[in-house]
Amino acid sequence: MSIPQFRTFFFLILASFLFAWFGLVVFPWLTVGHLPPIQEEGSTDIIPWDIAGAAHQGELVYAANGCAYCHTQQVRASTSGADIIRGWGTATDDSDPKKEITRRTYPRDYIWQHQTFLGHNRSGADLSNLAHRFQTAAELYRYLYDPYILNAHSSMPAYRYLFTTRRVTGAPYEDALVLAAADAPPAGWEIVPTAEGKSLVAYLLSLNKGYHLVPDESGVPYVPPSKS
């Protein structure tokens, strides 16, 4: 290759790279990179709700422990997967805890997460609406401490390093684990989640998509028919 040939070669390579860069990064960034939350008419609520600070700290614990290598956080439409049939698209309705909302996920569902964990592997269940299946922190603490309580052959590790055993001083701690006799700590001791464990559970409890979004994401607020 002579120098002019090399220059042409270089620009052609650059153009090929730019082609994929534009299609996979720039175009999505322009279309879904800066979605605002939407506001229902006649209401001061925004959809989706912002995530609490503790949940943002939990994102870092979720990342550091590599949960995303076995769990996804995306529900595909019923036309392109069985996710809805598996029950992963079912959330507790934000406005009425007795009702459920079942739907796929959209980009606007993730706008408040500082880091998204959509995942590539379903060795474990999808966690998009985990807070619908585990409604209290106590259940999640117990599950993280001993996943085999629900499935004896689970391949999920027990996250016991997110807990610490300490002597009870004064009143028992409200988040202390309630365990069966075989696993319970000796009298006068209690098993409590660490700061990391607490923020992880705060994050997991924020995973619930109990609101409606328009299917085509064009930004028009969607009003559920039942409201009238």
Partner 1 sequence: MSQHNPELQPEPHPHPQEAIQPYAPDFVETPDVPTETVDHPSLPLWIYLVCGVALFMAGSSFTGFSTFGMGLMDQGPGGPTVAAVSAGPAAAETPAQVGMKLYNGNCANCHQRSGEGQPGAYPSLVGSDWVLGSKERLTAILLHGIAGPLTDKGVVYSTNVMPEWSSTFTDEKMADILTYIRSSWGNKASEVTAAEVTAARAKFASQSGPYCEADLLKIAPHGPDPADQK
Partner 2 sequence: MATLPSPGIADKGFVSTNPELAAIDASVRWPVLICFLTAVHWMVVGTFLLVYASSLTHPQDSVPGLGLFVDLSDYCSFFTYGHVWPAALDSLVYGWASTAGMGLAIWLLARTCRSLVRAPGVLVTGIVFWNVGVAVGLTGIFLGGSSSVELLEFPEYASWILWLAYVLMAISAVLTFLGRKPGHDHLAQSWVLVALFAFPWLYAAGSTLLGTRLQAPSSALDPNASASWSFSLPGSGVVQELIGSWYVHGIYTLWLAPLALGVLYYLIPKMSGINIEYSSKAKAAFWSWIVLAPWTAVHDLVGGPFPADTVTVGLILSGLIFIPVTLIGLNLVGTAIDGENRQGHHGGVVFPFLTLAAVIFVVAGASEQLLSIRSINQVLRFTMFRECNTFLWVYGFFSFTAFGAMYYIVPRLLDFGWRSALLIRIHYYASVYGILLVLAMLGFGGIMQGFTLENPDPRVTIVTADEVAVSFYIGTTLCLSLISIGNGIFALHLGWMLLDWLRQQVRRSRLASEILFEPYVEEAPAKNSEEVSV
| Contact footprint for partner 1 (CB under 8 A) | 31, 76-81, 87, 90, 93, 99-101, 103, 106-107, 132-133, 135-136, 138-139, 142, 149-152, 178, 180-182, 212, 215-219, 222, 224-226
Q: Which of partner 2, partner 1, none has residue 123 at its interface (CB below 5 to 8 Å by kind)?
A: partner 2
CB atoms within 10 A of CB 81: 15
What residue 139 binds from partner 2, partner 1, none (CB within 5 to 8 A, per partner kind)? partner 1
Closest CB 113 distance from partner 1, rounded Å? 17
Smallest gap from Cβ 64 to partner 1, in A, equals 27
C-beta closer to partner 2: residue 14 or 227: 14
Q: Report the alpha-carbon distance of residue 186 to residue 90 in Å, rounded.
A: 40
Cβ neighbourhood burial of 100 (10 Å; 0-12, 13-18, 19+): middle
Strands (E), the chain: 38-39, 46-47, 90-92, 100-102, 163-167, 189-193
> Closer to partner 2 at the Cβ: 1 or 180?
1
Q: What amino acid is encoded at 129 in this protein?
A: N
Q: Which does 90 bind (CB under 5 to 8 A by kind): partner 2, partner 1, none?
A: partner 1
User: Which of residues 85 and 171 has its CB atom nearest to partner 2 in the complex?
Assistant: 85
Q: How far is the CB of 20 from partner 2 (least distance, A)?
A: 4
CA distance 125 to 227: 33
H or E segment and range at residue 16: helix 3-21
* Size of the chain in residues: 228
- 57 vs 135 by CB, closer to partner 1: 135
**Which residue, 10 or 43, is less far from partner 1 as judged by CB?**
43
| CA neighbours closer than 13 Å in the CB half-sphere of residue 31 | 12
Contacted by 100, from partner 2, partner 1, none: CB < 5 to 8 Å by type: partner 1
In this structure, are residues 204 and 140 in contact, taking their beta carbons and an 8 Å threshold?
A: yes
